[in-house]
Amino acid sequence: MVSSPPPSGIYVPVPTFFASQSASNYDPVNNPLDLETQTKHSLFLVKAGIRGLVILGSTGEAIHLTNEERNELISSQRKELDKAGYKDRPIIAGTATQNVQETLIQLEDAKKAGAEYGMVLTPGYFASAASQQGIEKWFTAVADKSPIPIMIYHYPGVTNNIVVAPSTFERLAQHANIVGCKLSHGDIPDHTLIASNPRIDPSHFKVFSGLGQNLLPVLTIGGQGAIDGLAGIFPRVVVKLFNMFQEGADNKKLRELQYKICEGERLIGRWGTVGIKEAIARCWGMGDKEGARLPLQGGFQGGDQEWSNWSSVFEGLKQLELEIEKSG
């Protein structure tokens, strides 16, 4: 049986929220989950038009969580989305393991917790020695036994710069249980060689950019959306660009909005999940801007002074977000 891919659109790799420093259960070494804030943020996103959530990706600090915490996080958000009337918003659960069996265990657990898809990070520990054949066999072994459809997560920045060649994607895209990919790199030619490949069926295998700054060019070459960190702060802004493209908006307007998104994405590129949490806390009052787990704990270096370097851009994006919300 051939699995169906997630719907096209904008997804958010959500950060994992931990107890604030003022909370009674705060622990500087092993800070517990803050599911109340997690739910508040999830609902903020789906109400703004986000198509689904990626939980336990790189932004979600998956490598910092126990399997028990992983399951609690997924199940709590599936329950809260369903309760709020968003059963149609899929949860994509990330994995970041190095061996096939542990990956399958996490995918089994994710299904039980309520995830509809798995986003499987390329195993990069032996990046310098791994062959394209080995990578293909690894993903095939996972897909053969995964209880939920999987997407290939290609993020060289956290996998020792391992390369998954477009030709490898072409072969893996034929697998009935591999339904797409997230490409978290800026190589537009590689995006094109996958998204525009006539031998890859876009109704079965969807290409999502992991970088909102690439959204417009990726859409023009056949990509079907983004799994984007800035959308976790300004969801309506990023969704608007996707919708404008689908509606055939004027190129000048598309470029203007893409430019504004690129300005905001610079903070994500500089600070990653730490910057995303900082911005969510400062812009919307959700979570603790220093609420990551060690060794990321402490927020971005420079505090208010560093934020002043970004504040004008983010104030502008916040105003745009509110304007889009007001206009409906």
Tokens of 64: 């910092």
182 is catalytic: yes
Residues whose CB is less than 8 angstroms from the CB of residue 44 and which lie 6 or more positions away in sequence, other chains included: 235, 284, 286
Q: For residues 160-178, b (16+ Cβ closer than 10 Å) or e, as one string?
A: eebbbebebbebbbebebb
56's enclosing H/E stretch is: none
CA distances from 199 to 9, 173, 203 (A): 22, 9, 12
How far apart are the C-alpha atoms of 195 and 282, rounded to whole Å?
36
Of 117, 155, 182, 240, the active-site residue reads: 182
153 is catalytic: yes
Of 11, 117, 153, 155, the active-site residue reads: 153
How far apart are the C-alpha atoms of 215 and 201, rounded to whole Å?
20
Under 8 Å between Cβ of 157 and 184? yes
CA distances from 46 to 88, 136, 150, 181, 280 (A): 10, 34, 22, 21, 15
Is 74 part of any known ligand binding site? no
Alpha helix positions (H), the chain: 35-47, 67-83, 100-113, 132-145, 166-172, 188-195, 215-220, 235-246, 251-284, 303-308, 311-327
Is 59 part of any known ligand binding site? yes
- Residues with catalytic roles: 153, 182
Q: Which residues fall in the annotated binding site for pyruvate?
A: 59, 227
Q: Which residues fall in the annotated binding site?
A: 59, 227
